[in-house]
Structure 1
Amino acid sequence: MMQLYPFLFEPNLHSVVWGGNKLRPYKGLEPSDEPIGESWEVSAVPSSTSIICNGEWKGKDLITAINEQSEAILGKTVNEKYQGKLPLLVKFIDAKRDLSIQVHPNDEMAMRKHGKMGKSEMWYVIKADECAHLYAGFKKEITVEEYQQRIADGTITEVLADHQVKAGDVFYLPAGRVHAICGGIMLAEVQQSSDVTYRIFDYNRPGMDGKPRELHTELAAQALDYHVEANYRTEYLDNKNKATQIIDTPYFDVRVMEISKPFHRDLRKYDSFVISMCIEGDCKIKVRSTGDEITLKEGYSTLIPAAIADYDVIPLNEKTRLLDAYIDNQNNGMKGIITKFLHFTNN
């Protein structure tokens, strides 16, 4: 068995009709006119799997690596719960133009309709142009009939909650919540490992092939949660030189930290892999048990296997900002009970 260490990955860039030109420079790559909308940072989705680019595992795709040492990489609990599959997908997203109005199905519907897991996700805004905004949730309750009428006449955005955003803003998008990233925003996205998206409205624009992109109006109507929240933005205190929890769900936990000095992270108690996304400022990550060390550059991400998730982060600039995502197996049982209770009381 090969020794485990933090995995780095080859760039995995996706061209889309709404994409921009910020992701290549962000990752230190040569700029181009190609509309790059997504960088799939850590992916075990078969259609676009991450390729390891460092150490003994260099050249292997992430699915193959996990298959070879699933429990050590994923964590015993994660490995058993998700049957040897990585349950998360993380991306950097650059929206030069508005994304389609869309919604994702929950686990039950996604499995029933597509044989895949559902898709709850979160956004962490990295950069935002002045007056940039996004849609998350409904601002008033509507009926299925009104939904269908507003799709037909193109007025669906009139009933969506519209949020102006700035760097550091966080939004949680549970399955069923209508949403859309709009132009002028670059963000980090953590989501369940699923590629199921239902487009509701796409501004009648053509796709990359010049043809209208497919809409999924009826499926979206089944997936939508019409419940209205008082506040869709996640509030948190951004403490320097601490790991601040910003998202706590049955599907993933996410913490942000801005550090200006070496910082010790021992996450072995969660029995989970850790995905660390470098939002700002290069750093080194040094594993305590093996001494293995990697340089994690701004705009890149690493997967740290569960078995070695005891490490130090050393900033190489004045400061480093990281976004960490993992599965909290200490508290997930209680989260699942609470989630089911809230679902029951809201329906």
Structure 2
Amino acid sequence: MPLYPLLFEPNLHTVVWGGNQLRPYKGLTPTEEPIGESWEVSAVPSSTSIVSNGFWKGRNLVSVISEMPVEILGEAVARQYDNQLPLLVKFIDAKRDLSIQVHPNDEMAHRVHGKMGKSEMWYVIKAEPGSYLYAGFKDQITPDEYQRRVSDGTITDVLARHEVKSGDVFYIPAGRVHAICGGIMLAEVQQSSDVTYRIFDYNRPGMDGKPRELHTELAAQALDYHVEREYRTVYQDEADRAVQIIDSPYFDVRVTEMTAPFHRNLKKYDSFIIMMCIEGDCKLRIRETGCEVLIKAGNSCLIPASIADYDVFPLNSRSIVLDAFIDNMDRSLSSLVTRFLHITNK
């Protein structure tokens, strides 16, 4: 049975801060339901993706991967993550501010919850004028001050506030305090985890009318109080080139703005590829098999590692896609020098 790019059924999550942009963005009938998240590719047990195309149509992603873990995930990924998909990707529509929150690292998440930690990144798709988000502390504070400011509701006074626009990128490692605020729609790539510690939630009720649970003490254990000079990721935006925007221990993310057919051979990374179509419908063709799939704006696909040599054809004047994967290439000094010389002599 030949492998092929996997597409997925809509997996939408209703939340108190959600908006009404994700359904039309994904080509679905609009409703007034406050949809805050679209879990595009998920192997999280609480909300696993369902395949919508080909041989595995109707099957959940976890069961599909269990049949061909090496071919789908890549040999190195399957070995390192015990045949589990290590990433979760989402589209997020924040009509209202999300809670001030933090995520635990791998050690704490495994010790307390038996789960993976949660580092993540954001790519802003669109933002209303004047909209902003929080990422990191703007000034150094102590754990005691943290406790006091949570108690008196002034925690946002010491957070770094960033006005944002389309194309902005933020890396949120585990331990960094953060919050997406109202008027922002973005793509999120994260470790495959659903562990979040709410620090402050504006004293508002949840969807059930009851106050949402806070995790102040766990958050205090997870918080990294280090202050960075710059929290926004700076990158050079270039058309018709896969631009690396995140290179972390947990995932590599590239953004490509295409105005013409674009070839990608990512087999060298020995990893699955998750492709998120941010703007402009496109067609993906696998070189080995000739298999083609249509990926519409607002939708995503998972490309198995063993067939990650493909062409992408923009079907409008341009398409913008995000690729997320695990970089398993040799990071030794000698290898990095070899890669540098290859690039400079290309």
Q: Deviations over 1:15-34 (max 9, x none)?
A: 00000000000011110010
2:177 is matched by which residue type in structure 1? V
1:106 alignment counterpart: 105
Aligned counterparts of 1:236 and 1:293: Cα–Cα separation in 2: 31
Aligned counterparts of 2:330 and 2:224: Cα–Cα separation in 1: 26
1:216 alignment counterpart: 215
2:10 alignment counterpart: 11
Aligned counterparts of 2:151 and 2:311: Cα–Cα separation in 1: 54
Aligned counterparts of 2:46 and 2:248: Cα–Cα separation in 1: 26
1:263 is matched by which residue type in structure 2? F
2:130 alignment counterpart: 131
Aligned counterparts of 2:177 and 2:327: Cα–Cα separation in 1: 26
2:271 alignment counterpart: 272
Q: Confirm whether residue 91 of structure 1 aligns to residue 70 of structure 2.
A: no
Give secondary structure in 2 for the equivalent of 1:10.
coil
Q: 1:94 to 1:74 in 2, by over 3 A?
A: same
Aligned counterparts of 1:234 and 1:125: Cα–Cα separation in 2: 12
1:185 alignment counterpart: 184
Q: 1:51 to 1:332 in 2, by over 3 A?
A: farther
- On the 8 A contact 1:136/1:160 being kept in 2, the answer is yes
1:255 alignment counterpart: 254
Aligned counterparts of 1:271 and 1:250: Cα–Cα separation in 2: 15
Give secondary structure in 2 for the equivalent of 1:56.
coil
Q: Deviations over 1:117-150 (max 9, x none)?
A: 1000000000100000000000001000000000
* Structure 1 stretches lacking a partner, 5+ long: 335-347
2:75 alignment counterpart: 76
TM-score under structure 1 normalisation?
0.95
Q: 1:182 to 1:264 in 2, by over 3 A?
A: same
Aligned counterparts of 2:116 and 2:59: Cα–Cα separation in 1: 24
- On the 8 A contact 1:39/1:93 being kept in 2, the answer is yes
Aligned counterparts of 2:331 and 2:304: Cα–Cα separation in 1: 19
- On the 8 A contact 1:247/1:254 being kept in 2, the answer is yes
Q: Confirm whether residue 239 of structure 1 aligns to residue 238 of structure 2.
A: yes
1:145 is matched by which residue type in structure 2? D
Give secondary structure in 2 for the equivalent of 1:277.
strand
Give secondary structure in 2 for the equivalent of 1:317.
coil
Give secondary structure in 1 for the equivalent of 2:46.
helix
Q: Deviations over 1:189-233 (max 9, x none)?
A: 000000000000000000000000000000000000000000000
Structure 1 segment 13-92 matched on structure 2, within 5 A = 13-92=12-91
Using the TM superposition, give the Cα deviation of residue 3 of structure 1 relative to its aligned residue in structure 2, in angstroms: 1.8
Q: Confirm whether residue 293 of structure 1 aligns to residue 292 of structure 2.
A: yes
Using the TM superposition, give the Cα deviation of residue 331 of structure 1 relative to its aligned residue in structure 2, in angstroms: 4.4
Give secondary structure in 2 for the equivalent of 1:47.
coil
Q: Deviations over 1:274-296 (max 9, x none)?
A: 00000000000000000000000
Q: Confirm whether residue 198 of structure 1 aligns to residue 197 of structure 2.
A: yes
Q: Deviations over 1:229-282 (max 9, x none)?
A: 000000001110000000001100000000011000000000000000000000
- On the 8 A contact 1:132/1:164 being kept in 2, the answer is yes
1:76 is matched by which residue type in structure 2? E
1:322 alignment counterpart: 321
Give secondary structure in 1 for the equivalent of 2:288.
coil
Give secondary structure in 2 for the equivalent of 1:8.
coil
1:341 alignment counterpart: none
2:115 alignment counterpart: 116
Give the alignment's Cα RMSD to 1 decimal: 0.8
2:150 alignment counterpart: 151
Aligned counterparts of 1:324 and 1:144: Cα–Cα separation in 2: 38
Q: 1:30 to 1:134 in 2, by over 3 A?
A: same
Q: Confirm whether residue 282 of structure 1 aligns to residue 251 of structure 2.
A: no
Aligned counterparts of 1:61 and 1:88: Cα–Cα separation in 2: 16
Aligned counterparts of 1:155 and 1:229: Cα–Cα separation in 2: 21
Give secondary structure in 2 for the equivalent of 1:218.
helix
1:182 is matched by which residue type in structure 2? C
Aligned counterparts of 1:177 and 1:3: Cα–Cα separation in 2: 42
Aligned counterparts of 2:238 and 2:330: Cα–Cα separation in 1: 23
- On the 8 A contact 1:259/1:321 being kept in 2, the answer is yes
Q: State the aligned residue count.
A: 333
Structure 1 segment 220-231 matched on structure 2, within 5 A = 220-231=219-230
1:240 is matched by which residue type in structure 2? A
